[in-house]
Amino acid sequence: MSTHPPDQISTQRKAINLHRLRELYAAGEKLTMLTCYDATFARIADDAGVEMLLVGDSLGMVLQGKASTLPVSIEEMAYHVRCVAAGNKTAWVIGDLPFASYQQSPAQAFEHAATLMQAGAQMVKLEGGGWTNDTVRFLSERGIPVCAHLGLTPQSVHALGGYRIQGKSDAAAAILKRDAAAIAEAGAAMLVLELLPSTLAKEITDLLPIPVIGIGAGIDCSGQVLVLHDMLGLTKGKLPRFVKNFMNGASSIEAAIASYVSEVKEKRFPDNGLHGY
């Protein structure tokens, strides 16, 4: 039973949808995203004002203790999307298509994207460059909003030779710019850029007509995403240099997440120049 007085109820925010995200983007407001894997954290992050909850395949490392995201299955992703959707009221929920669930064909991607959408996702995310264009187009034309993911793409960690900054050479930067433009043209509604020089991330953000959400990509992206357990100081061992522990000085988890939201909105997070793992 709710004990909220009526004035608190009336200030509750309306559900975030793609239209609202586009309005915020067009108005130049920074967008906030956090990874989330369960109902409790979904409720807390939603109450703290995060606009987008990403049920990331990082759950393979964060929750399952695996060495990479590669072993995560579509069934596991669907389970965690259901948990997040159950705890969330207003945030936009994005489900990651895990490794080997979309690489074969657009039809394979559609089948697994449908599994995530039926579990409660409102958008799916997939990793990769030009080879994903047909899939992005196929899903978008069939009513599934797609978030692309370029730069450091953790499902390709073995091909990339580790968790390294991407796009450092002129040639690599040119390929990333070309791929980003093509993916937006194919219909992607959003793009995550992971671990790029901030100058390159800014160029791509300025080039694209869709929100670009950065992680380790500097302050000039349209918004930011962090792994929840990293920004709450729960991850042991060496952390990426761009991560900030928002629990420092916070009185609660909700307060820490609210600080993340306000620091992103006020362009105080991230500090430019902090890159690398």
Is 51 part of the annotated catalytic residue set?
no
Name residues whose C-beta falls within 8 Å of residue 146's C-beta, 6 or more positions apart in sequence: 123, 124, 125, 126, 136, 139, 140, 187, 188, 189, 190
Binding ligand KIV (rule: CB under 6 A), the pick from 32, 58, 133, 259 is: 58
* Sites for ligand KIV among residues 90-109 (CB under 6 A): 96
* Residue among 46 and 230 whose Cβ is closer to ligand KIV: 230
* Annotated catalytic residue, options 185, 194, 263, 266: 194
Q: Are 182 and 159 in contact, with CB atoms under 8 Å apart?
A: no
Binding ligand KIV (rule: CB under 6 A), the pick from 109, 192, 196, 212 is: 192
Q: What angle do CA 256, 49, 51 make, to 5 degrees?
A: 120
Q: Which amino acid is at 59?
A: L
* Residue among 16 and 221 whose Cβ is closer to ligand KIV: 221
Residue 31 interacts with ligand KIV (CB under 6 A): yes or no = no
* Sites for ligand KIV among residues 197-236 (CB under 6 A): 215, 225, 227
* Sites for ligand KIV among residues 130-189 (CB under 6 A): none
Q: Which of left, alpha, beta for 120 (phi over 0: left; psi -120 to 50: alpha)? A: left
* Residue among 58 and 133 whose Cβ is closer to ligand KIV: 58
Helix (H) or strand (E) holding 19: helix 18-26
**Other CB atoms closer than 10 Å to residue 28's CB: what's the count?**
7
List active site positions.
194
In the complex, which residues of this chain contact ligand KIV (CB under 6 A)? 35, 54, 56-58, 96, 192, 194, 215, 225, 227
